[in-house]
A = this chain, B = another copy of it.
Amino acid sequence: MTHNASKILDIINYSDHPTADDIYMEVKRLGIKMSPATVYNSLAALHSEGAIVKLPDEGGATRYDKSLPHGHMICSACGRISDLFIDDFPDYLRERTGTDTEGYDLRVFHTCPMCRGLV
């Protein structure tokens, strides 16, 4: 893994589902000299290594996330994405699909507590 890719992986790990552009801006904010092309190159490399996952968005830029097996809750009002961990989900999937699976992308739409005025 290159130095730049490793920095980008760090950023993905401490950021909240950033887009390529979010990452590029963070890189700049940190005072690191890196071109947008390198951000895309590194993201593609990290993705093909399986170090990150891509979350293509309906009408918007793709978001990136660490590749821990987990799903996402997406608020249909404000768009905020939060992580969703369901420990037995792989087991559940294997049982229900009747076959081995290599991974999953689960997004659950809801209205977050803030948008429901509960916070």
Contacts and interface: CB of A to CB of B under 8 A. Distances in A.
A103 interface: yes
A96 B104 CA distance: 17
Looking at chain A's contact residues, is the secondary structure mostly helix, strand, loop, or mixed? mixed
A86 interface: yes
A105 B106 contact: yes
A97 interface: yes
Given A56-B56, A62-B58, A92-B92, A101 B108 contact: yes
Contacts of A58: 54, 56, 62
A76 B106 CA distance: 16
A13 interface: no
A7 interface: no
Contact of A93 (B62, B100, B108): B108
Given A56-B57, A58-B62, A99-B110, 16 more contacts: A54-B59, A56-B59, A76-B102, A84-B97, A86-B96, A89-B96, A92-B92, A97-B108, A97-B110, A100-B110, A103-B108, A104-B107, A104-B108, A104-B109, A105-B109, A106-B107
Closest 4 CB pairs of A and B: A56-B56, A105-B107, A102-B109, A103-B109
